[in-house]
Amino acid sequence: MVMPGRKPSEGPTVTRHKPAVDWTEVINVPYSGPHPDLPDTRQVSQKDGTILELPYPEATLEWWAAVCKMPHCVLWQESDWSFALDTANVHAMAATGMISASAELRMREKSLGTTVDSRRDLRLRYVEPESEPVRMAIVENIDERRKRLLNA
């Protein structure tokens, strides 16, 4: 859901008031956790009432693979994944030439945070993972340490 008010920026804060919603920082590592698989086929209803079982277009399969790797998917719950699956159906309609699905797809992708602008609107910020600090060995007795190093 898009937050109300002016879009946040990386610039200095002009006001002394604390923002209503803080940024959510997510480690910039592709998500590899559990997620639902895209079904093999989708159902499309015709004007005469018949229902066709059609495979997903290649563009939708690639889109789904990209969505499932977004780092902020770590924050998603079951309902978010359900919304993403529904959005895949809208993407398939748009990819197969249904122009009226494009506007719905744009709004849904904004809610999912698929672009830099939509993540900014959602106040999601990717941060680089911290590197492991190099740990130094603690030497309690320097004489014993020297003996071990000389005998080794």
Q: What is the pLDDT of residue 1?
A: 62
Q: Does residue 4 carry a pLDDT above 80?
A: no
Q: Does residue 135 carry a pLDDT above 80?
A: no
Q: What is the pLDDT of residue 122?
A: 92
- Joined together, the tokens standing for residue 151 give 């005998």
Question: How is residue 20 annotated by DSSP?
Answer: S
Q: What percent of the chain lies above the pLDDT cut of 90?
A: 64
Which of 97, 48, 42 is closest to 64 using CA atoms?
A: 42
Cα(64)–Cα(67) distance, integer angstroms: 5
- In single-letter form, the type of residue at position 50 comes to T
Residue 135: exposed, middle, or buried by beta-carbon count in 10 A (0-12, 13-18, 19+)? exposed
Pinpoint the alpha helices (H) of the chain.
Answer: 58-67, 78-95, 101-112, 116-121, 142-151
Residue 58: how many other CB atoms lie within 10 Å: 9
Residues 38-97 have pLDDT tens digits of 999 999 888 898 999 999 999 999 999 999 999 999 999 999 999 999 999 999 999 999
